[in-house]
Structure 1
Amino acid sequence: MLMSDAATLAVVWKTDAFFKLFGLCLLAGILVAGLLFPLAGGLGVASNKASETVDSMSAELANVPPPLLTTITDSAGNPIATLYDQYRIPTATSEINDAMKWALISVEDRRFLDHHGVDWAGTLRAALSNSTGADTQGASTLTQQYVKNYLINVIYRNDEAGQRKAQEQSLARKLKEARIAIQLETKMSKDQILTSYLNVVEFSRKIYGIGAAARAYFNTTPDKLTVTQAALLAGMVNNPPVYDPWNNPERAMQRRNLVLDRMVDNNKLAPEDGQRLKAEPLGVVPDGPSKPASNCTGAGPENGFFCQYVQDYLLTHGMTKQDLYSGGYTIRTTMDQNANHLAKVSAETQVKKTQKNVANTLSLVRPGKDRHEVVALAANRDYGTDATKGQTTYALPSDVSNVTGAGSSYKIFTTAAAMEQHKVGIYSTIQTPQSYSSRVFLGGKPGCPQVAQATYAYCMSNYGEGNYGSTMSLQQALATSPNTGFVILEEQAGIGAVLDMAYRLGMRNTMMSNAANGGAVDPDGQSLAYKMPQQKYYGPEGPQKSGFGSFTLGVSPTSGLELANVAATIMSGGVWCPPTPLSSITDREGQAVSPIHEDACEQVVPEGLANTLAVGMSKDITEGTAHAAAAAVGWNRPAIGKTGTTDVSGSSAFVAAVPQLAGAAMIFRPDFPIGGLIDGGVGNVNAVQGTGDGNMFGGKTPARTWFGAMVPILGNQPALPLPPSDPAYEH
C-alpha cells in the first residue's frame, strides 16, 4: 500500500515536472520566436503587428527626450528660477564615478556586461511563473528596466493608463520589453545604456536621474559620490518611496547594506571594506531632499513677480505649460536685477510689506521703436506663499490687479483722442468749470440733473474749491487735472475714440478685461470687451449708447505694467510694442529658438502727436500734482508724468517717463477693494476700515515710489531732452 502510494506520487511528480519542462520549452520557443522571427500564418500576423509596435516604441525612446528643468535668468544671464515637473540634471558617462556604476550593476543586474539585453534564464523563469499563475517575478535586466522607466517617466509621464500598461505583469509586456531591449543593445554601448538609465530613473520626490539625486541627497555631484552614497542611491531605484531615507531610514539602511553585500559578492568591494562601510550613517542632507523650487517661488520674494510675468507671457503667446516645465530651455529675460531691487526697495519703503490689504507696485519698461523691454516688476509685498508674512503669488505689478482703477492718468487717452481729431492742441484753451453735468454721458444719481424718468445726467466736479480757473491750456490741465475739462473733451472726441486710443497706446489686456473683477472676457481676442454692451465702464450704455463718461477719470480695472507701457509708447514716438520680458531663448542643446509668437510693433499714433503729447505732459513734475514728490528728491531731468486718484482715494497711480525709461506706480487694495487709503507719510500707509474716504493721491505714495526708484536707477546717466512738439498738434 505504501509502495503503491509512493509509486503514484512518483508518477504524479514526474508528470508535473514533465509539463513544467514542456511549458518552459514552449515558452522559450514563443519568446525566441517573438523576439527574433515572424511566425507563419496567424502567428506571423501577430508577430508582425508586435514588431510594428516595438519599432514604434523604439522610435519613441529615440525621439521623445526626457523632461529637463527650464532655467530663467536675468538680463545678465544670472539664474533666478527653475521651472520643472521632474527635477533632472543631465549627466554624462564621464561624470558618473565607478562606485555608482558598480553599485547599480551589483544589485540590479550582475550579468549586465555579459548579456545582450535579456537575461534568458531569468526571463524564462519569470515568464513561466507568471503564465502558470504563480507569484510574479521580475528578472529584468538594466536594459529592460531602462525601457520600462523611459516609458513610465518620459513617454507616459502624464498618462496614468500608459504607465499602468508599461508596468503590467504579463507575458506580452515582457516580450515587448525584451525585444526593445535587444534592439537597444545593437544601437547603444553598455556605457550608454547604463548612463541613460541613470539619467531617467526616479529617486523619489520628483527627483529623477543621478545628477539631481546626488545634489538633492548629498549636495554633491555623481563623480564625487562615496561608496555608501552610491549604494544608497542604487538601492532606491527598486522602490523609491519604500526606501526614502527621510521617511523610512531603517529600510533605507537595510537596503543600502544589501547593496554593499552585493558589491562584495560581485568582487567590486573588499569584504572588510563592506563590513566597515555598513556601520556608517546614511549621511543624507538634513530635512531634505535639497532641491530648488519647481516654480516662480524659487525666484524669491524680490524677483518672483518678474518670473511670474515671464511664465504668463510665454503661456499666453503660444507655449504650453508642459513644454515650459519640461523643455529644458534657458530663458534670458530683460530684467535688470539691480533696477528690480531698487524698485522693490522703493515700493517697500513707502508701504510696509506686511500692511494688510495694501499693494504698492512699480513697473518699469524701456522705450524703443523696435522693442519695449520690461526692466522691473516690483511690489511692497513679497512674492511667495506665506500670507502671514504678507506674501502673495498674484501678479500684482503686471496683471489687471487694480480693480478700482488708476484715476486721472486715464486723461492721457482722452487728450490723445481729441488731439488726433484736431479738436484741440496741447496749447489750446479748454473749458474747466468747477462743476459740470454731461447730457451726453448719462448714469448720474439723484442730485444730478434729470434727463428722463429715473435717468440722470452724469455730473461731476473738480477736486477742492477755487483751485482751478474756468479755463486753462490743455498742458496746464494735464498738470493740474481738472475733471470737468476732460469729460468735456471726452464728449467732443467721442467715447469710442477714447476707448480705442486707450487700447492702441497700450492698455490691451486691460481693455479686454471684465470691469467687475479684471478677469479675461475674450481670451481669443476676436472682439474687444470694451465694445461689448455689458461692460459697465467701457461699452455703449444708456439711451444714447454713448458709454460712461467716468472712463476718462480712470475707474476701470488696470494693469500697472500696461500703464507703464503707455508711457513707453509715448516716449517711442507713438510706436507701441508688446511689453516683452524676453531677451533670448535657447533649447536643451543650447540652440537659439523662438517657441512663441510676439506681436509686431505698431505705429499707433503719428510721431508728431506722441511727441507733442509728451511735451504736454511735461509740466506735472515741474509745477503740477507730482511737483512736491519730485522736489523732495531734487529731480532735475526732463520727464513726462500724470497722476491719478479714484473716488474716496481707494487707489492712486503715477505714470511717468524719461527717454531712457518709463514706468507706472500704483497703490490699491488687492484683497478687499472697498474704502479709501490713508497716506501718513513715508512707510505709513493704511487702509480705511470700512467704506470711508482716504487722503491718498497719485502725487503722494505712487509718485514718491516712482522717484525713489528712478533716481538711483538712472544714476549718472545723462539727462536727455524730450522730443520737440509738432506744430500740427499744438493748437
Structure 2
Amino acid sequence: MPKRLPPANDPRRRGKPTATSVRSHSAMAWLLLWPFYLCGWLARAFSWPVRLLLLTTGYPLIAGLGALAVCAVGYGIQAQRYDLAKLDSMPERTIVLDRLGEEIGRIHGEKRSVVPLAEVAENFRKAILAREDARFYKHHAIDPIGIARAALANIQGKRQGASTLTQQLASDVFQLKEGEHRHNILRQANRKLLEIAIACRIETSLSKDAILEAYINQINWGRQIRGIGEASRIYFEKHPSELTLSESAMLAGIVRGPDAFNPFSSLTAAIRERNTTLDRMVETEVITRDEAEAAKKQPIELRPKWRRDTQESYAMDAIRRDLEVILEKENIALGGLTINTTIDLRIQHKGEEALDKKLREVERIPGYPHQTRTSWRALAENKREEPTYLQGASVVVENHSGAVLAVIGGRDANESKYNRAIQSRRQLGSLFKPFVYLAAFDVGLRPDTSISDGPIQPGEIKGAGTWHPHNSDGKFGGMEPASYGLIRSRNTMSVRVGNLAGIGRVSEVAKNAGFATPMPANPAAFLGAWEVSPWEIATAYSIFPNNGTRFCPYLISEIKDHKGNVLYSALPVQYPAAKAGAAWSISSILTEVTTRGTAASVSRLGFDA
C-alpha cells in the first residue's frame, strides 16, 4: 500500500488556502462589508425590479456613508491637534493711561479689546446672527438647512456661503485659509472638512453664548481692527453696549467686506450693507418692518475725520522704551495689559502748547532766515521732507518722587518722530554750573568764600594750558562771594570753583546726580562744554530741592493684566547723591538766580521761585 503524504506535503493541497485562512478572510469581509450584505439580504424579499432599484441606490449610499465615517474619524483625529484654549487667548491691545486714568494711547498687538457678551448691545447680537447665521442656536456646528439653501442659491446664480458662525470662528482663529489658493479645489475641500471637525469640537466644548462671545471679539473689521469693542470705539466712539440699531446693522453688514464697505472710505456702500442687514433682520423676525425703516432713516455719526488718524506722541515713545525693558525683565507677555503711568496729560498738553507758542514767536521775528513751521506745513504732503524748522524739548519731573509728568520731544510727533527729550544731545552750558559749585561745597567751599572774577592766568587752572575763558558780558571783576559767581553765571569764577573741587570730584558729582553721559576730563567741562539730553538735565536737577537725595526717574507706575491682577508695581527709588548741606546751599542760591540773577525773567512769566 503506498505511503500517504502528510497533509502539508500533499501536492493536491499546495497553493490552496486552508480552512482556517478561509474562515479568517470571510470574517474580515463580513466585518467590513456587512452593510452591503445586509442590504442584499433585505432586498431578497422584494421582486426583481424593486430589488435592482434598492441595490443600485443602496450600495452607493452605503459606500458614501462609509466614506463619511472614515473622514469623520480621520478629521476628528486631526482636529484634536488644535488647542481650543486659543479661543480665549485673544491678544488685546495694551491700554496706556496717565496718572489720572485718562487714556494716552494703545500699543502692541491688534486693535482689539475683549468685551463680554452681556456688555454688547442686543441690537448688535441680533444683527450679526441675522446676517451671518440666523439658525445659530438651532444647529450643531454645521447647518444642513443652510447648506441646502446656499446650494439652491448658487444654482440660481446667487453667490451664498453656508459656513456657520462656529465654522467661521474655527477658520479665523486657527488661520485655516492661510496659504490657500482660490483654484486649488482639493486643498479647499480638505480645509473645509477640517473646519467642520474643529467646529464640532468647539460646539461640544463651549456653550452657544461662549462661542458667540468669542466670535464677536474675533471679527475683522479692516484697518487691523479686531472685535466689536474696537470696531464700535473706532467707528462710532462708543462702547458696544451703546450701539443703536442702525449702527449695529452697519457693523454687522460690513463684516463681509471690511475694506470694500469701510464707512470711513465708502460710506454709501456701508449704508447699503446696513440696509441689507436690517431687511435680513426683518426676514428672520428679530425686528419689525417699522423698526427697520426707522433705523434706515437715522443719520450715521462716524468718528470725525480729524480724530481717525493715529496721533503720535513723544510721551508714548518714552513709555514704549521703558515698557520694553520692564516686560523683558519681568517676563510679562504682551497684549491685554493696562499700563498706569506718571504722565499728566494736562501738563503734557500745556507744555506742548507753550513750546510751540514760544518758538512761533521766534519764527515771527523780522528777517528770520530759516524754515518756519508754518511754511513747512504749507507744502503739499508729497513734497514735505523731514522738517528743519526750529525745535525744542522739555521734561517735567516731580521732584519728591521722580515721577515724570511730561516728555515733550518737539513741536509735533506727527511731523517729526525724533524724540529730542531723550535722544538729542546738546551742550549743557551754564546749566551745569550748579553741579560744579555743589562739588566744591561738598569739599568745604562756602557760599560766602571770596573767589576772583578776574582774568584766568596761564597755568592757574590745572590742565587748562593757555585756555582762558571770558565772561558773557566781556567784563571782569574783583573778589566776589562764591554765591555771586553762580547767581550771575560768571565763567571765570565758575572755572576757579571747579578747579578748587577738582575734575575728578566734579565728574563724580555729575554721575551721582544722574548724568549718564560721562563728563570729559578737561576744565572746559566746568562751563558745560559737553553734550547731554534734556532728560538727564531735568532728572539731575531734582537733587537740589531734595537736599541731595536723588529720586530715580520713572514713567510706568503699575502694570495690570486683563483680569486686573497687578503684574508690576513701581515705588519711588531714592539714594543720597550729594551732602544735604551742600545741596541746600545750591538750592538757596538758585532761588536768588530767579529773583536777581540771570533767570530773573521767570518771575515775569508767572513762575514762583
What is the TM-score of this pair, normalised by structure 1?
0.60
Greater than 6 Å deviation, 4+ residue runs: 16-23, 120-126, 165-168, 287-291, 322-325, 439-442
Question: How far 1:205 sits from its partner (Å)?
Answer: 2.0
Of the candidates 386, 398, 402, which is equivalent to residue 372 of structure 1?
Answer: 402
Partner of residue 574, structure 1: 548
Measure, in 1, the Cα distance between the counterparts of 2:411 and 2:361: 7
Task: Specify the SS of the correspondent of 2:221.
Answer: coil
Deviation string for 1:285-339 (max 9, x for gaps)? Answer: 46867966545x3xxxxxx44444333433344469x9898434142435272x5
Report the CA distance between 1:223 and its aligned residue: 4.2
| Letter matched to residue 373 of structure 1 | A
Deviation at 1:33, TM superposition (A): 0.7
Partner AA of 1:68 in structure 2: R
Q: Which has the higher contact order (CA 8 A, sep 6+)?
A: 1
Cα deviation for residue 139 of structure 1 reads: 3.6
CA distance in 1, matches of 2:533, 2:100: 27
Deviation at 1:85, TM superposition (A): 4.9
Runs of 5+ consecutive residues of structure 1 not aligned to the other structure: 1-15, 37-46, 127-135, 153-160, 298-303, 387-391, 450-456, 512-529, 531-537, 540-546, 634-707, 712-718, 720-731
Structure number with greater Rg is 2
Secondary structure of the residue that 2:134 maps to in structure 1? coil
Question: Which SS does the other structure have where 2:427 is aligned?
Answer: coil
CA 1:203–1:348 in 2, change beyond 3 Å: closer, same or farther? Answer: closer
Task: Tell me the equivalent position of 1:193.
Answer: 211
Q: Among 114, 128, 132, which residue is 2:138 paired with?
A: 114
1:413 paired residue number: 435
1:386-401 alignment, distance < 5 Å: 386=415, 392-396=416-420, 398-401=421-424
Q: How many residues align?
A: 521
Cα distance in 2 for partners of 1:27, 1:137 equals 27
Q: Distance in 2 between matches of 1:289 and 1:145?
A: 32
In structure 2, C-alpha distance between the alignment counterparts of 1:606 and 1:77, rounded to whole Å: 37
Would you say the 8 A contact 2:455–2:468 is kept in 1?
Answer: no
* Change in CA separation of 1:20 and 1:34 when aligned onto 2, cut-off 3 Å: same
5+ unaligned residues in a row in structure 2: which ranges?
1-55, 151-158, 364-371, 373-388
- Asked whether the 8 Å contact 1:364–1:376 carries over to 2, the reply is yes
1:325-724 equivalent positions in 2, closer than 5 A = 326-335=335-344, 337=346, 339-340=347-348, 343=351, 347=355, 350-352=358-360, 355=363, 356=372, 357-368=389-400, 371-377=401-407, 382-386=411-415, 392-396=416-420, 398-401=421-424, 403-420=425-442, 422=443, 424-437=445-458, 457-469=466-478, 471-508=479-516, 511=517, 530=518, 538-539=519-520, 547-594=521-568, 600-627=573-600, 629=601, 633=604, 708=605, 710-711=607-608
Aligned residue number for residue 61 of structure 1: 87
| CA-CA distance at 1:100 after TM superposition | 2.4
Contact 1:404 1:555 in 2 (8 A): no
Deviation of 1:209 (Å): 1.9
Q: Offset at 1:79?
A: 3.5
Whose helix proportion is higher, 1 or 2?
2
Query: CA 1:250–1:77 in structure 2 vs 1: closer, same or farther (change >3 Å)?
Result: closer
Higher strand share: 1
Tell me the CA shift for residue 52 of structure 1.
5.5
Deviations 1:340-359 (A, max 9, x none): 56655654564427834434
SS at match of 1:408: helix
Inter-partner Cα distance in structure 2 for 1:415 and 1:140: 77
Query: What is the CA distance between 1:20 and its match in structure 2?
Result: 8.8
Alignment partner of 2:568: what SS? coil
Shift of the 409–253 alpha-carbon distance from structure 1 to 2, 3 Å rule, reads: closer
1:245-286 alpha-carbon deviations (Å, 9 max, x no partner) = 44445654554454345434434355x5599579x4795446
Decide whether aligned partners of structure 1 residues 52 and 618 sit closer, same or farther in structure 2, where only a CA change above 3 A counts. same
Letter in 2 for 1:34: G
CA spacing shift, 1:611–1:255, aligned 2, 3 Å: closer
Task: Give the whole-Å Cα distance in 1 for the aligned partners of 2:103 and 2:361.
Answer: 25
Shift, 1:434, TM fit: 1.9
User: 1:70–1:84: 8 Å Cα contact kept in structure 2?
Assistant: no
CA contact (8 A) 1:85 1:206 kept: no
CA distance in 2, matches of 1:336, 1:269: 44
Residue 687 (structure 1) aligns with: none
Check the 8 A contact 1:575/1:605 in 2, yes or no: yes
For the structure 1 residues 353 and 228, does the alpha-carbon distance in structure 2 shift closer, same or farther, using more than 3 Å as the test?
same
Distance in 2 separating the partners of 1:274 and 1:383? 47
For 2:471, the aligned partner's letter is: N
Q: Structure 2: how far apart are the matches of 1:626 and 1:235?
A: 63
Work out whether residues 82 and 294 of structure 1, in 8 Å CA contact, stay in contact via their aligned partners in 2: no
1:437 CA drift (Å): 4.3
SS of equivalent residue, structure 1 residue 570? coil
Root-mean-square deviation (CA, aligned residues, Å) is 4.4
8 Å Cα contact 2:392/2:411 also seen in 1: no
Q: 1:586 to 1:710 in 2, by over 3 A?
A: farther
1:363 match: secondary structure: strand
- Report the 3-state secondary structure (helix = DSSP H, G, I; strand = E; otherwise coil) of the residue aligned with 1:590: coil
